[in-house]
Chain A
Amino acid sequence: MTAIANISPITAAIWVVLLPLLAFLIQAILGKRAKSGNIALIAIILSTLLSGVFVFAEIWKGIPRSVTYPWFTIGISTFTVGVLLNNLTVLMQLLVCIIALPVHIYSRAYMKGDPGIHRYWMYLSLFCFAMLGLSISKNLFMMYIFWELVGFASYLLIGFWFTKESAVQANKKAFIVNRIGDLGFLIGIAILFSVYGTLDLVELFGKEGRFLQTLVDQPGLITAAGLCFFLGAMAKSAQFPLHVWLPDAMEGPTAVSSLIHAATMVAAGVFLLSAVFPLFNAQVLLVIALIGVITAASAAFFALTQTDIKKILAFSTISQLGFMMVAIGIGAWDAAMFHLVTHAFFKCLLFLGAGAVIHEMAHLKDSHNLQIDPQNIQQMGGLKAYMPKTFILMAIASLSLAGFPLTSGFLSKDAILISTYEWAIHHGGGYLLIPIVMTIVSILTAFYIGRLIFKVFFGKFRTAVPQVSIHEAGNSMLLPMAFLAICSLFFIFSWNPISYHHAGVFQGFHVAYSFHEIHSLHIIIPIGLSLAACIAWFIGWKWYVKQQYPLQADSTLMRFSYNQGYINTFYQLTVVEGSLRLAKAAYWFDKTIIDGLVNGLGRFTRMLSQVSAWIDTYLVDGLINSLAGAAYYLGHLLRWVQNGRLQNYLGFAFTVLLIGIIYLIFT
């Protein structure tokens, strides 16, 4: 018993990472026999326990620990792998475990009967392995490997139903867009390595995340490195203008969307920026804040008119990730991490709830042979009566997303908004635009999530069927959702439901803000936002439940929002078509110029060799043959002398003798 209690946090953390890998390998070997998902489930339960008991409890607010192993040496620089456990990494690891566990349990019911379910569990374990490894990597290079692995697992899971054309397109898109970010990340790593000669996070920043080396004599390079890292985070965390992959990624199973594309992987960008935060200088931080606010605003705007339930949530995720980016941009990365944690819970819950609804709608569609899209909220309505528990759980998550008091979202969103106001007032002038836009985005958030709840759960059912056979999801789906709903309430994070300063997550990080606290804001903003959210819901209620819809459904603005700002069209026309045209030109160039050159060279060589063959046959061989022929004829001629006739021999002998004598006489 003492032996178990004495596991070091490092060992435990390594096992937390390795268990899902083991599960992945076992399931990969078992193949189609691993249908139940028990292996993946057991692995994630053990990981969660280990992570909670032996890693998080030991390290959180304690002494950071790390371990390094040399990996390989090139020249004089040795590359290492290692585990870094500090407040940031153990929090991320535990969060991934705690989100992954309910998703695993939920998936058992949600994915039941799918013909490819063995692949599903395999990929899910692979993702958990990569994400957990990413969270505790000590080395940027190692982190990059896991970063790619989560991207790959995400690619596999988005294209899980790979017989669907749209899923294939979506996973391709996600992969390609992420490549852009990965390239940025890699260049950032390379710049850091060239400047500092190490990629070790501890050597770079110290265990607590301070930038130890002050010899920054190349500010340009450091700015470039910061921007490159941000580019990596932009793609992974779906920041404008690289956010286009996330709405399409909703083609994957909903449980996957909740785990990967709402709670954990997309937050990896925020996590990365927090981990390398001391690297950023003022210019980079401003860029981060600007991109964050543009993302938050545009995504919230696009979310207003979407009709696909998952796309609304996807844009909501993008919008909230924008919030986190703004928090990092103003220097409050503790607020960003806090929002990351709270957002993970309520957004995961929203997705799981949406999954339950979609599940029922799909059943309804199958049983009545309807031609409807089970994800379209226009087809739903009044589900409150059929799925009351799901409704309550989703309502809690929505309140949390909208930042309503007593929820976790209230605490984290206020943390970001208040910090942003303080920062903007500190800087003054045009900087104030950022918090103002974010306030509007907050109100829009309340409105669009209210629209979703009203359209799905209120009013009357809008699909024409003789009998609505929708009922509550099973317990194995409801229980994980209930767990997440509890985690979306304030008391998990802070006993004080009003002030975010008492939140445990905040106390783990000690971030020195560059701006002063303004006390009056801490009262005005929460109250103002809550009131605004209530007004937004009231309007939404009137519009969507009472059917007093005042807007033109086909106005330019609505279409602009519904088509996601035509960004996809723009990319299609420029990047995709451009690439295709370039590829065609390259193909033509290859076919005619390169191949032509090679073929011409080939023909020339053939002709040359024909000439050479002729020379060989008629000149070289001819010479030899004629020599040989001459020798042959000469031999043949002399052969006639050897005819066996004694008299001839004698005659020759006498002739030669005679010649000899004549020769002697005349000399």
Chain B
Amino acid sequence: MISITHFLVVSAIIFSIGLYAIIAKRNAIMILVGIELIINAAILNFVAFGRYDKLNYGGQVFALFAIVLAAAAVAVGLAIILAVYRKYKTINPDNITDLQD
């Protein structure tokens, strides 16, 4: 039987991969992908914990919301990356250091 723990472990692995992508990737697109991975890890948790709410299916409904929100967020993120590319002619976050002192 597949217990909830298995879902949570998969979710944690996906989260960790997403975190790694955000911190270590040299491409803004890949960072966006990392973000998507983290969102999906969260969604997976929603669905997994949904089994304890068989009355309203709150987990499944929230997962649907979250997928829609993630699609919207990707659209905004891609727009930001485009804008950054127009200004800096690069999407490597290492080269965009305007925040340094």
Contacts and interface: CB of A to CB of B under 8 A. Distances in A.
Interface of A: 639, 642-647, 649-651, 654
Contact of B23 (A642, A644, A650): A650
B97 interface: yes
Contacts of A654: 19, 23
B23 A645 contact: no
Interface of B: 19, 22-24, 31, 93-94, 96-101
A644 B22 CA distance: 16
A651 B23 contact: yes
Contacts of A644: 96-101
Contacts of B23: 647, 650-651, 654
Given A647-B24, A654-B19, A654-B23, A642 B100 contact: yes
A517 to B, nearest CB: 125
A639 B101 contact: yes
B100 A643 contact: yes
Contacts of A650: 22-23
Contacts of B99: 642, 644-646, 649
A651 B94 CA distance: 13
Nearest to A649: B99
A646 B101 contact: no
Contacts of B101: 639, 642, 644
Contacts of A645: 93-94, 97, 99-100
Contacts of B96: 644, 646
Contacts of A649: 99
24 contacts: A642-B99, A642-B100, A642-B101, A643-B97, A644-B96, A644-B97, A644-B99, A644-B100, A644-B101, A645-B93, A645-B97, A645-B99, A645-B100, A646-B93, A646-B96, A646-B99, A647-B23, A647-B93, A647-B94, A649-B99, A650-B22, A651-B23, A654-B19, A654-B23
Contacts of B94: 645, 647
B91 to A, nearest CB: 12
B22 to A, nearest CB: 6
A40 B95 CA distance: 107
Nearest to A639: B101
B28 to A, nearest CB: 10
Contacts of A642: 99-101
Query: Most A CB atoms within 10 A — which of B23, B31, B96?
Result: B23
Given A642-B100, A646-B93, A647-B23, 11 more contacts: A642-B101, A644-B96, A645-B93, A645-B94, A645-B97, A645-B99, A647-B22, A647-B31, A647-B94, A650-B23, A654-B23
A34 to B, nearest CB: 89
A643, A644, A649, A651: residue with the most chain B Cβ atoms closer than 10 Å = A644
Ranked nearest first, the 6 interchain pairs of A and B with the lowest CB-CB distance are A644-B100, A644-B97, A644-B99, A642-B101, A643-B100, A651-B23
Main secondary structure of the interface of A (DSSP, over half): helix
Contacts of A646: 93, 96, 99
A643 B100 CA distance: 4
B90 to A, nearest CB: 13
A649 B94 CA distance: 12
Nearest to B95: A645
Contacts of B19: 654
A647 B27 CA distance: 11
A651 B93 CA distance: 13
A643 B99 CA distance: 7
A639 B93 CA distance: 19
A558 to B, nearest CB: 113
A142 to B, nearest CB: 89
Instruction: Count chain B CB atoms within 10 A of each CB in A642, A646, A654 and give the residue with the most.
Output: A646
A638 to B, nearest CB: 10
A280 B24 CA distance: 124
Nearest to A643: B100
A649 B100 CA distance: 11
A471 B93 CA distance: 130
A649 to B, nearest CB: 8
A647 B91 CA distance: 13
Nearest to B99: A644
Nearest to A646: B93
A649 B99 CA distance: 10
Contacts of B100: 642-645
A649 B24 CA distance: 12
A650 B18 CA distance: 13
B39 to A, nearest CB: 16
B78 to A, nearest CB: 17
A162 to B, nearest CB: 85
A654 to B, nearest CB: 7
Contacts of A651: 23
Nearest to B31: A647
A466 to B, nearest CB: 116
Contacts of A643: 97, 100
A649 B19 CA distance: 13
A643 B98 CA distance: 9
B17 to A, nearest CB: 14
Contacts of B97: 643-645
Residue among A642, A645, A649, A651 with max Cβ neighbours from chain B (10 Å): A645
A642 B99 CA distance: 8
A541 to B, nearest CB: 126
A654 B22 CA distance: 11
Nearest to B19: A654
Interface centre among B96, B97, B100 (most CB of A within 10 A): B100
A410 B99 CA distance: 127
A412 B40 CA distance: 150
A350 to B, nearest CB: 110
A644 B98 CA distance: 6
A591 to B, nearest CB: 68
Nearest to A648: B23
B45 to A, nearest CB: 17
A651 B101 CA distance: 18
B99 to A, nearest CB: 4
A645 B97 CA distance: 5
A654 B15 CA distance: 13
A116 to B, nearest CB: 88
Nearest to A642: B101
A644 B93 CA distance: 10
A652 to B, nearest CB: 10
